[in-house]
């Protein structure tokens, strides 16, 4: 009697289970890596927005102060400048509802920061001395509002500078 072994045309159950385990592991690794890359990208984007808003606002204030004829610190959150163009007088920098605003004369308050960031604090400190020009210390704190309570969506920057008018 001769026994004849049939050829198998497919995978055995063990081969299929090994294939599924290896495939699942690879997919999990790829998914985890992609998720981490997206989290880092999101964090960098948020930090960039915060930094860009802080730099723009600070640069605008510094530029206006340098060319101002007179500087008045109204209170620690409000700065008033007298400039050479009468239609722009006074130029006022003020913190309003988490946004840093600049108002020229009777015009509207122009936001110096975007809606996607919040100015936590802006402090103006008059550091003028009798033998110097008008010197103002500006301290600015800008944050990204934490909308989804994730550490990856949090970013803040604090900048400080001294400015004198010409």
Domain residues of the chain, as ranges? Answer: 13-164
Angle at 38 between CA 19 and CA 52, to 5 degrees: 170
pLDDT, one tens digit per residue, over 87-119 is 888 999 999 888 899 999 888 999 999 888 899
Joined tokens for residue 95: 């913190």
pLDDT, one tens digit per residue, over 123-158 is 999 888 887 778 899 999 999 876 666 666 788 899
pLDDT classification of 5: cutoffs 50, 70, 90: low
Joined tokens for residue 22: 């290896």
**Percent helix, strand and coil across the chain, each to the nearest 5:** 35, 30, 30
Joined tokens for residue 145: 């509002």
pLDDT classification of 27: cutoffs 50, 70, 90: very high
HSE of 147, CA atoms in CB hemisphere, 13 A = 6
Query: What does residue 39 show for φ and ψ, rounded to 5 degrees?
Result: -65, -45
In this prediction the pTM is 0.77
Q: How many CB atoms lie within 10 A of CB 18?
A: 12
Answer yes or no: are the C-beta atoms of 138 and 61 closer than 8 Å: yes
């Amino acid at each position: 009697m001769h026994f004849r072994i049939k050829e198998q045309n497919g995978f055995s159950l063990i081969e299929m289970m090994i294939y599924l385990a290896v495939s699942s592991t690879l997919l999990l690794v790829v998914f985890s890596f992609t998720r981490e890359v997206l989290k880092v990208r999101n964090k960098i984007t948020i930090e960039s927005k915060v930094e860009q808003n802080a730099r723009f606002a600070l640069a605008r204030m510094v530029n206006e102060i340098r060319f101002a004829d007179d500087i008045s610190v109204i209170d620690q959150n409000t700065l008033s400048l007298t400039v050479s163009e009468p239609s722009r007088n006074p130029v006022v920098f003020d913190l309003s509802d988490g946004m840093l605003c600049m108002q020229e004369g009777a015009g509207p308050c122009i936001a110096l920061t975007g809606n996607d960031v919040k100015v936590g604090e802006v402090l103006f400190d008059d550091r003028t001395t009798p033998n110097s020009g008008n010197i103002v210390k500006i301290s600015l704190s800008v944050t990204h509002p934490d909308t989804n309570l994730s550490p990856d969506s949090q970013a803040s920057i604090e900048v400080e500078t001294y400015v004198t008018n010409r």
